[in-house]
Structure 1
Amino acid sequence: MNLRDTAVARAFVPERRMMYYLFLLGFFSIFSTTISKNPVLPLFSQAIGADSTIIGLIAAFSPLAGILFSFPVGVISDHIGRKRLLVASGAVFLIAPVLYLFITAPLWLIPVRFFHGTATAILGPVISAVIAERFPVTKGEMLGQYSSATLVGRALAPLAGGAIISYFAMYPGLLPYRVVYIAAALAAVPVFIMTLLYTEKQSLPLDTLPFCVFRESFVTFFSNRRLRGTACVDMATYFAFGAVETFLPLYLFSLGIGAYQTGIIFAAQVVFIAGTKPFFGRIADRVDKRIQIVAGLAITGGAVAGIPLAVSFAQFFLVSAVFGIGMSLSTVATSAYVADVAEKEQIGASMGALSSIMDIGQSGGPLLTGIIVTMVGYIAGFFASCILALIVCAIFILSVREPAGTDPKNEGQAP
């Protein structure tokens, strides 16, 4: 090995360590927050006296934190640095599961779920900004690999939570549920430690931010047609995701498909998203991200439209897998495209705005689809997501098209 190769190898070591650090942080944080809600939250809520309305209200308050805080958090991270916010997020991950242990009335779950939701509201945009800054050339691939690490945690958490509840089912009272929240707190310990160990490249002073900073960042993001169009894509994608996650199990049950098979259908979706995101991330670093975004959203919308056409377990399995592929294809490219388009000093704010709008879509999907299903039926409810996806595809194409005489390299290509 010559001197040049040795220098390259030495330079690669810190990047590889950062890569492993991010993957472990993403895995443990999402495992901890997911095991706190799936499947334990509705069961725990019911056990302490919550009815269906209260359970739905409790479930809505976690994504509400993302809607409210992701954008301000992104702005703050651009001005005071990422480390302080990562530590704050780690502290919430650690403290929140402990609070569930003291709850005996269902309404107290509302503020606790909101508080717990701030953990991911902070972590998401900050980690996306860290990846965009630390891996400018391979950010698409890194965003995909980080997302896959979180999806592994998201997939394993319900299995672990269900196993704990089943093992302690013979014990009286709320003990089975409280053991799950103890497990969530233990999983959050490495999250908090890792946020403390994060080393920032440049330490920024802790200054009070005037309101005009948030207003300027908001105006900067939403006045940029490309950022605006990309945010609409994530909104439509997660609108469909929320609708499918909420109403596909009910639709399958109405067709006589059992819970076990329903679990396999949704597991296929997670596996395909987690398995394809690193690959699609590498593609996003090498091709025009706009094409990948449009293709992914179109596939996602087509898969949702295919749900009412499926009649057998195998067909639903295929539709779920295609939905996962479409979602993976578009979402890994949207984050990378926003990092390309956003100004360097606005990356955190842009990632935060993207995350907030994503949460709006994920919250709005079940709500609006539920209204349509109640009024018209499941077929119309699923087709609504498809129609929205097609409309947003057109909006995105118009938003990111190149005016005559512009350099295409400035429109979404990796630097």
Structure 2
Amino acid sequence: MTSEIQNPNTQSTTPIGKVLVPVFLIVFTDIMGFGLMIPLLPFYAEHFGASAFTVGLLLSVFALCQLLAGPPLGQLSDRIGRKPVLVLSQIGTLAGYILLALSNTLWLIFLARIIDGLTAGNISVAHAYVSDNTPPEQRTKAFGIVGAAFGLGMLVGPSLGGLLVRHSLTTPIWGACVLSALSIVATTVLLPKGIRAEHKGPSKTLLPVKPILACFRDPATSGLFLLLSLFYFAFNTFISGFALFLAGRVTWGGEPIGPQTAGFMFAYVGLLGFFFQAIALGHLLRWFRERTLIFAGFLLMTIGFGALSLSHTVLVTLVFLTLSQSGAAVLRPTIMARISKRVSPQRQGLVMGVNQSVMSMAAILAPLVVGILINHGLYVGWALWMSAIAVAGAFGVSHISSMSDEPVVS
């Protein structure tokens, strides 16, 4: 095995197009399946008697499993390569979707999300693969293209789910199963082997707490991980609460919002993400510094989420959604690329695994807060809470010293 591993300090000779095209297709297919299912999940759980808090708990359990699995999967991909770990993660996702579609009780829905969560390394490993195989000067744009695949998947997935849910609540989930299987085939057939980090020997712990803490203590990455944590917390508050917000507060033609319209609203979020990350981000990077884009992203989220508290109709919701999600679309790839450029090739997999854990910690806490707020009918409080988190992010950009420095490798 050792003889096959390239020196991580040697730039990959794989053309960037051969790296990004298959990764784009894989992430797009994965997220399209996710987008088919996620707007439906609150309605599906409520069909089995779940309250808003139970829906939040369902999302939190999935994220807790992600938290436990993220760093070990990242370290495993450092040792044996990104591609086999990516396939393993995708197989777990498929198994979780199949069980979810077959569920007839609430506890089986929880079990399905646990299985999916424990193998949920798809996106973080894909990010590490891109980090391995793109030069630092092209990495922000590369992450933007991967983010565009995320946005396009969130555009097509919820739209397709909104159409399929007309047949039954489980039809979109079976559609997600088909897409997950196609993603496994795409990874196996299309993805080049890529480079691998040096073999470090077996991991001594299941959850590498010290490396996680080190990322938050390292001056090169601590401030960026703090900003990423705030972004994930705000974004997960939005994702976990938006369908419940629509169903409880927003009307369409005088009627409450159902799963079909909610799917189309999520699709609009995906459209914004695709536009900004596939088309606009490259131009924005030529005109503005990364620090400026990150500050503007948090500022747009502050305004958009705050104004969302005033919304009662679909049209007004779409206007304020445009502001908040335009900011969110720019933030994640820009922060992720900046983190990637500040760590050595040997640490890319671990750092991307830590990123997965940071996202999971936010996804554990945010749905619980959402469940408490919406259970008490505090829809305005839900929107203002997200706005307050974004304010903290904008304040952080202005006061984190490393944001004004050129990236240095640690």
- Scaled to the shorter chain, the TM-score interval is 0.7 to 0.9
Partner letter of residue 268 of structure 2? A
The structural deviation recorded for 1:387 is: 2.4
- After the TM superposition, which residues 130-209 of structure 1 pair with which residues of structure 2 at under 5 Å, given as runs? 130-136=129-135, 137-167=137-167, 169=168, 177=170, 179-197=171-189, 198-202=191-195, 207-209=201-203
Q: Distance in 2 between matches of 1:314 and 1:102?
A: 36
The structural deviation recorded for 1:24 is: 0.9
Q: Distance in 2 between matches of 1:35 and 1:376?
A: 27
The structural deviation recorded for 1:180 is: 4.0
Partner letter of residue 296 of structure 1? G
Given that 1:298 and 1:390 are in contact with CA atoms closer than 8 Å, whether structure 2 keeps it comes out as yes
The structural deviation recorded for 1:401 is: 4.0
- After the TM superposition, which residues 371-386 of structure 1 pair with which residues of structure 2 at under 5 Å, given as runs? 371=372, 377-386=378-387
Q: Distance in 2 between matches of 1:374 and 1:42?
A: 13
* 1:83 paired to 2:83: yes
Partner of 1:125: 124
- Structure 1's 45 and 249: CA in aligned 2 closer, same or farther, altered over 3 A? closer
Q: Distance in 1 between matches of 2:165 and 2:310?
A: 36
Looking at both structures, which has the greater relative contact order when contacts are Cα pairs under 8 Å and sequence separation is at least 6?
2
The structural deviation recorded for 1:140 is: 1.3
Q: Distance in 1 between matches of 2:379 and 2:62?
A: 26
Given that 1:217 and 1:346 are in contact with CA atoms closer than 8 Å, whether structure 2 keeps it comes out as no
Partner of 2:332: 331
2:193 is paired with a residue whose SS is coil
Partner letter of residue 22 of structure 1? V
The structural deviation recorded for 1:26 is: 0.7
* More off after superposition, 376-385 vs 189-198: 376-385
* 1:342 paired to 2:318: no
Given that 1:33 and 1:93 are in contact with CA atoms closer than 8 Å, whether structure 2 keeps it comes out as no
TM-score (norm 2): 0.81
Given that 1:97 and 1:185 are in contact with CA atoms closer than 8 Å, whether structure 2 keeps it comes out as yes
The structural deviation recorded for 1:185 is: 2.6
The structural deviation recorded for 1:55 is: 4.3
Q: Distance in 1 between matches of 2:13 and 2:195?
A: 20
Q: Distance in 1 between matches of 2:267 and 2:176?
A: 21
- Structure 1's 54 and 107: CA in aligned 2 closer, same or farther, altered over 3 A? farther
- Structure 1's 105 and 22: CA in aligned 2 closer, same or farther, altered over 3 A? same
Given that 1:239 and 1:366 are in contact with CA atoms closer than 8 Å, whether structure 2 keeps it comes out as no
* More off after superposition, 16-25 vs 274-283: 274-283
The structural deviation recorded for 1:338 is: 0.4
Given that 2:305 and 2:387 are in contact with CA atoms closer than 8 Å, whether structure 1 keeps it comes out as yes
Q: Distance in 2 between matches of 1:156 and 1:402?
A: 35
Given that 1:232 and 1:396 are in contact with CA atoms closer than 8 Å, whether structure 2 keeps it comes out as no
1:138 is paired with a residue whose SS is helix
The structure with the largest alpha-carbon Rg is: 1
CA distances 1:304-344 after superposition (whole Å, capped 9, x unpaired): 12223456654432211011111012111011100111222
- Structure 1's 284 and 360: CA in aligned 2 closer, same or farther, altered over 3 A? farther
2:251 is paired with a residue whose SS is coil
What is the count of residue pairs matched by the alignment? 387
Given that 2:238 and 2:386 are in contact with CA atoms closer than 8 Å, whether structure 1 keeps it comes out as no
- Structure 1's 68 and 283: CA in aligned 2 closer, same or farther, altered over 3 A? farther
Partner of 1:357: 358
Given that 2:90 and 2:184 are in contact with CA atoms closer than 8 Å, whether structure 1 keeps it comes out as yes
Q: Distance in 2 between matches of 1:281 and 1:206?
A: 36
2:64 is paired with a residue whose SS is helix
- Structure 1's 130 and 384: CA in aligned 2 closer, same or farther, altered over 3 A? same
Q: Distance in 2 between matches of 1:132 and 1:361?
A: 23
Partner of 1:5: none
Given that 1:281 and 1:332 are in contact with CA atoms closer than 8 Å, whether structure 2 keeps it comes out as no
Partner of 1:8: none
From 406, 409, 414, the counterpart of 2:406: 409
Partner of 1:210: 204
The structural deviation recorded for 1:150 is: 2.3
TM-score (norm 1): 0.80
Given that 1:402 and 1:411 are in contact with CA atoms closer than 8 Å, whether structure 2 keeps it comes out as no
CA distances 1:72-111 after superposition (whole Å, capped 9, x unpaired): 3223322332122112113223333333455333212212
Q: Distance in 2 between matches of 1:276 and 1:327?
A: 10
* More off after superposition, 67-76 vs 124-133: 67-76
Unaligned runs of 5+ in 1: 1-10, 170-175
The structural deviation recorded for 1:247 is: 4.4
Given that 1:139 and 1:285 are in contact with CA atoms closer than 8 Å, whether structure 2 keeps it comes out as no
Partner of 2:3: none
* More off after superposition, 380-389 vs 109-118: 380-389
Partner of 1:242: 236
The structural deviation recorded for 1:232 is: 2.1
**Residue identity (%):** 18
Given that 1:93 and 1:192 are in contact with CA atoms closer than 8 Å, whether structure 2 keeps it comes out as no
Partner of 1:59: 59
- Structure 1's 79 and 29: CA in aligned 2 closer, same or farther, altered over 3 A? same
CA distances 1:111-161 after superposition (whole Å, capped 9, x unpaired): 221111244x31121111111221222111121111221222223223333
Partner of 1:230: 224
Q: Distance in 1 between matches of 2:376 and 2:99?
A: 39
Higher share in helix: 1
- Structure 1's 72 and 400: CA in aligned 2 closer, same or farther, altered over 3 A? farther
* More off after superposition, 92-101 vs 129-138: 92-101
Given that 1:235 and 1:359 are in contact with CA atoms closer than 8 Å, whether structure 2 keeps it comes out as no
Unaligned runs of 5+ in 2: 1-11
The structural deviation recorded for 1:190 is: 2.4
- After the TM superposition, which residues 282-293 of structure 1 pair with which residues of structure 2 at under 5 Å, given as runs? 283-284=284-285, 287-293=288-294
- Structure 1's 390 and 91: CA in aligned 2 closer, same or farther, altered over 3 A? same
